C-alpha cells in the first residue's frame, strides 16, 4: 500500500506524541510539520526529513497531504479541520473538536460532504483498561451514578502549558469532554440537564481554572465531573473514576501515593493499575482486574493513529464517532454556560 503522506500541525505535548506515532507506523510518512516557531524547533531524528512550515495554509497548499493531524490550540481546530478536508485530506484532530457547538457541527457536515475521515482525539476510546471499565459499567443496571475528576497541581512548564490552553477553554471544557464522553458511552440515555459551578483562583488566566459539573440523563442516571489546573490545586483525591448502579460498582483504582505519582504527569491521566468490580448481591467477592501492563501515553497515541489508518483503509463509518464528539462538547459547553449564568441549562 502506498504510504499516506501526513502533515502534522502543532508540536506541543500531544502534537509531538502524535507526530512520532506516525513514524512508527509503516503505512504513514510524515512529510511536513507546522508550527509558528518552527525555525527554532529542534526536531527528533525521526522527524528531521519532514519539511518545515510556519503557516498552515502554505503547508497544506504546498504538500497536498493525504492526512492532516491537527494538534493546535482549540480555537483553530474547526477552521483547520475544514480546510484540510476541503483540500482532500483525511483529518485527525485533537479534542475538543471546535470552539463552539455550531462550528463542531460544521466540521462534521464537511466530513460527511467530502467523504473524508474525521477522527477526534478521544484517547480513552483506544485504551484497553477504559474499554473494560465502560464494558463493566454497562452491566450495572440503571440508573447509573458517575463520579469522576482529574485535578492537576501544575507548576513550571506544565503550568505554562495549562495557561496557554486556558486562552481558549477552562479545564472543565478542555479536559471534561473526555470524561463526559465516557459517561455517555456507559449509558444509552439522553443527557437532558447540566448544572455547574466554578472558581477563578488566579489572575494569570482569563477563565475559571476550577470547575465542577453535574449532568442528568433521561433514565435517571446522574454524574459529576471536576477539573482544576494550577499550582494551588490539591493533590488529595485528584484522580477519581467511579461508577455504581443497582447491581454494583466499578472503579479505576490508582495508587496516588505510590511511586510519587504526580497529578501533572501526563501518563497518570490514563493510568489505571487496577479495575475494582463490586457485586451488590455479593454473589462474587470483589474482583480486582490487574491492568499493570497497559499501554503508556505514547503507545495510546499510536493506537489512535492506527485507528485513523483503519478508518481510511477499511472505509469505516465514523458517523457515531463524530456525533459523540459533538454531544460531549455540547455538554461541557453547557456546563461553562451554567457557571456564568448561575442556572441549570437544559440540553
The pLDDT value recorded for residue 310 is 98
Radius of gyration of the chain (CA): 20
Give the pLDDT of the chain (347 residues) as one tens digit per residue. 799 999 999 999 899 999 999 999 999 999 999 999 998 899 999 999 999 999 999 999 999 999 999 999 999 999 999 999 999 999 999 999 999 999 999 999 999 999 999 999 999 999 999 999 999 999 999 999 999 999 999 999 999 999 999 998 999 999 999 999 999 999 999 999 999 999 999 999 999 999 999 999 999 999 999 999 999 999 998 999 999 999 999 999 875 444 455 656 555 544 557 999 999 999 999 999 988 778 999 999 999 999 999 999 999 999 999 999 999 999 999 999 999 999 999 99
Whole-number Å distance between alpha carbons of 317 and 185: 18
The pLDDT value recorded for residue 267 is 53
* Buried b / exposed e along 201-210 (16+ C-beta atoms within 10 A): beeebebbbb
Asked if residue 197 lies in contact with residue 339, where contact means CB atoms within 8 angstroms, the answer is yes
Give strand pairing partners of 275: 252, 289
**Domains in the chain and their CATH numbers?**
4-121 (3.40.50.720), 125-298+331-346 (3.30.360.10)
The pLDDT value recorded for residue 293 is 79
The pLDDT value recorded for residue 263 is 57
What's the Cα-to-Cα distance from 312 to each of 118, 220, 321, rounded to whole Å? 9, 38, 14
Nearest alpha carbon to residue 9 among 58, 69, 53: 69
Whole-number Å distance between alpha carbons of 225 and 234: 16
Asked if residue 44 lies in contact with residue 65, where contact means CB atoms within 8 angstroms, the answer is no
Q: Which three cell numbers stand for residue 284?
A: 462474587
Q: Give the three-class secondary structure for 165.
A: helix
Nearest alpha carbon to residue 309 among 38, 80, 4, 2: 4
61 sits in which H/E element? helix 56-63
* pTM: predicted TM-score of the whole model, two decimal places: 0.92
Outline where 169-271 has alpha helix (H).
Answer: 171-174, 176-186
Other C-beta atoms closer than 10 Å to the C-beta of 281 total 8
Does residue 88 come out as left (phi exceeding 0), alpha (psi in the -120 to 50 range) or beta? left
12: buried, middle or exposed (CB in 10 Å: 19+, 13-18, 0-12)?
A: middle
52: buried, middle or exposed (CB in 10 Å: 19+, 13-18, 0-12)?
A: middle
The pLDDT value recorded for residue 292 is 79
Asked if residue 107 lies in contact with residue 84, where contact means CB atoms within 8 angstroms, the answer is no
Q: Which three cell numbers stand for residue 9?
A: 500541525
The pLDDT value recorded for residue 259 is 44
The pLDDT value recorded for residue 256 is 47
Amino acid at each position: 500500500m502506498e504510504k499516506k503522506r501526513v502533515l502534522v500541525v502543532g508540536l506541543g505535548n500531544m502534537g509531538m506524541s502524535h507526530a512520532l506515532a506516525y513514524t512508527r507506523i509503516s503505512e504513514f510518512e510524515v512529510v511536513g510539520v507546522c508550527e509558528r516557531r518552527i525555525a527554532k524547533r529542534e526536531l527528533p531524528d525521526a522527524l528531521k526529513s519532514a519539511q518545515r512550515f510556519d503557516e498552515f495554509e502554505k503547508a497544506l497548499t504546498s504538500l497536498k497531504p493525504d492526512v492532516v493531524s491537527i494538534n493546535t490550540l482549540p480555537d483553530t481546530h474547526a477552521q483547520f479541520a475544514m480546510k484540510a478536508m476541503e483540500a482532500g485530506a483525511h483529518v485527525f484532530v485533537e479534542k475538543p473538536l471546535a470552539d463552539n457547538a455550531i462550528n463542531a457541527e460544521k466540521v462534521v457536515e464537511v466530513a460527511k460532504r467530502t467523504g473524508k475521515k474525521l477522527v477526534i482525539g478521544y484517547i480513552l476510546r483506544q485504551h484497553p483498561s477504559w474499554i473494560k471499565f465502560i464494558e463493566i459499567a454497562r452491566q450495572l443496571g440503571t440508573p447509573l451514578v458517575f463520579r469522576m475528576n482529574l485535578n492537576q497541581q501544575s507548576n513550571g512548564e506544565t503550568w505554562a502549558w495549562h495557561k496557554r490552553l486556558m486562552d481558549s477553554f477552562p479545564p472543565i471544557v478542555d479536559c471534561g469532554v473526555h470524561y463526559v464522553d465516557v459517561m455517555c458511552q456507559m449509558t444509552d440515555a439522553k443527557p437532558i440537564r447540566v448544572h455547574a459551578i466554578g472558581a477563578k483562583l488566579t489572575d494569570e488566566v482569563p477563565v475559571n481554572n476550577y470547575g465542577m459539573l453535574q449532568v442528568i440523563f433521561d433514565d435517571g442516571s446522574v454524574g459529576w465531573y471536576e477539573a482544576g489546573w494550577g499550582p494551588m490545586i490539591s493533590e488529595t483525591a485528584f484522580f477519581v473514576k467511579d461508577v455504581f448502579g443497582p447491581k454494583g460498582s466499578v472503579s479505576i483504582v490508582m495508587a496516588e501515593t505510590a511511586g510519587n505519582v504526580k497529578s501533572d504527569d501526563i501518563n497518570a491521566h490514563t493510568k489505571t493499575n487496577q479495575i475494582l468490580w463490586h457485586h451488590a448481591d455479593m454473589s462474587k467477592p470483589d474482583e480486582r482486574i490487574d491492568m499493570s501492563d497497559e499501554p503508556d501515553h505514547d503507545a495510546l497515541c499510536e493506537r489512535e493513529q492506527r485507528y485513523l489508518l483503519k478508518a481510511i483503509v477499511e472505509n469505516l463509518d465514523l458517523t457515531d464517532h463524530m456525533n459523540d464528539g459533538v454531544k460531549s462538547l455540547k455538554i461541557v459547553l453547557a456546563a461553562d454556560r451554567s457557571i456564568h449564568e448561575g442556572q441549570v441549562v437544559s440540553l
